[in-house]
Structures are given as C-alpha cells and as structure tokens.
Amino acid sequence: MAAQNLTPTDYIIHHLTNLQIGEGFWTFHLDTLFFSVVLGAVILAIFIAAARRATSGVPGKLQNFVEVLYEFADKQVKDTFHGRSALIAPLALTIFTWVFLMNAMDLLPVDLLPHIASLAGIPYLRVVPSTDLNATFAMSISVFFLILFYSFKIKGVGGFTKEILFTPFGKWFIPFNIILKLVEEFAKPISLGLRLFGNLYAGELIFILIALLPWWIQWTLSLPWAIFHLLIITLQAFIFMVLTIVYLSMAHEEHH
C-alpha cells in the first residue's frame, strides 16, 4: 500500500530512486550492487550444495533441479554455438539463473523491502537490479568484451582486421564496411542492455501504479499481472542468455 504521507508522484519517484553514494560518473547504486551480489551468492550456494550432495544413485530434488537447469542451458549452447569453448555453457547457465533471480525480485510486494529498509534509516531501496540501466549495461558490456576477446583469439588480429575492412562489400567499399561493422558491434551491447532494462522497468512501474490503488482492488490486478510477469522475467532471462550465445558463436566464425 502506498505511503499515506506521499503524493502519487512522490511515491513513484521514491520507488524509482536508487540508494546512491558519490557524484557524477562515480555514483554507485548501493542497492543494485547489494542485491546483485546477494543473488549471485544464492546461485553459488545452490550449485555448491547440489555438487556436494550429488550422487550416482537416485538423485535428490536439489540435484534434479540443478541438472534440469544445466541440461536446459547446455542444449541451448549445443543448438546455437558452433565453436569450441569450455566457457560458454557455464556462462549461459550463470547468465540465465542470475538474470532470472534479478528479475524475480519484481514479484515481491512493492513496499515490503523498502519499508523494512526505512525502519533501519535507509531512505531509498530499489530491489530489482535489472531495472537499473547501469546493471543491464554492465552485463551487456561484459558480453561485448568477451565478443572482442574471442574475435581476436579465434581469428587473430589480421583475420579480425580483414573482417572489419572487407566484410560485407569487399575491398572497394572499405569505409562503408568499417561503418557497418562498428554499428553492428556496438548495437549488440546496447540492444542487449536496453531490452532487459526496458521490459523490467515497465513491469516494475506497473506494480508501483497498482500499489497506488485502494487496498481492496490491488490483489485483483496485482495477482494476474504477477502471473503474466512471471512469463516476462523468464523470457527476458532466456533472451539474454540466447543472444549472448549467438553473439559469441558469431565471434568464433571465420569469414572467407
């Protein structure tokens, strides 16, 4: 339920404001960093626990759950990735589970954790890291650096340079080839980061708007939206994972 001493506009702004320190470029969103690290630790704890309890006999529920996740990510890699790398499958699994948990924080009641934080003297708290453009771009830029790394590693400096200069129109259109290649490469992290941010930000905003309604009507809207939003958060985690695999697969391909 919306705080009684805030206007609707103030309430929305309050929930869309990060807990920050620093100024300008060196501003850190402490809530985004905190929840990202905590959710990453949760994933590590789950997989470590599953690994310790793993058995060749009848698997337990946790082992079954982790194996299903692993086989799901591994299948996507086998269907999409055409190179050879021991990193891609673990990376795909990490991305899917981490982004999914970040997105799933949107299913918590809007005022629950911010209210608890306010009791501890914390004025602002955004609990969904993927609604922070800094977080989604940090992940997409990390993928971009991996793309560059594998492009140089697989194709070599000379091969990657030739690809930039001569693809797709050949040696007579080098300036156009360079422009198109730069647009193509920079579009990857931008679209990857903005897609995740835009969908989750819109979902968060709808939950906030529902929280502004009278308490007796909130559940009639929030429950159907939460069920639909469960599909969105899963789909966005899947898309981020698949596009990462596709981009890294393209980095492994050599043009002749």
Of 18, 142, 195, 249, the catalytic one is: 195
Q: Are 211 and 1 in contact (CB under 8 A)?
A: yes
Of 126, 191, 222, 249, the catalytic one is: 191
CA distance 182 to 104: 34
Question: Would residue 195 show up in a list of annotated catalytic residues for this protein?
Answer: yes
CA distance 22 to 173: 46
Question: Would residue 199 show up in a list of annotated catalytic residues for this protein?
Answer: yes
Of 140, 177, 199, 222, the catalytic one is: 199
Buried b (16+ CB within 10 A) or exposed e, 12-34: bebbeebbeeeeeeeeebebbbe
Question: Would residue 177 show up in a list of annotated catalytic residues for this protein?
Answer: no
Helix residue ranges, H only, the chain:
8-15, 30-53, 61-80, 88-104, 112-119, 133-166, 174-211, 215-252
Q: CA-based angle 193:158:164, to the nearest 5?
A: 45
For the annotated catalytic residues, the residue numbers are 191, 195, 199
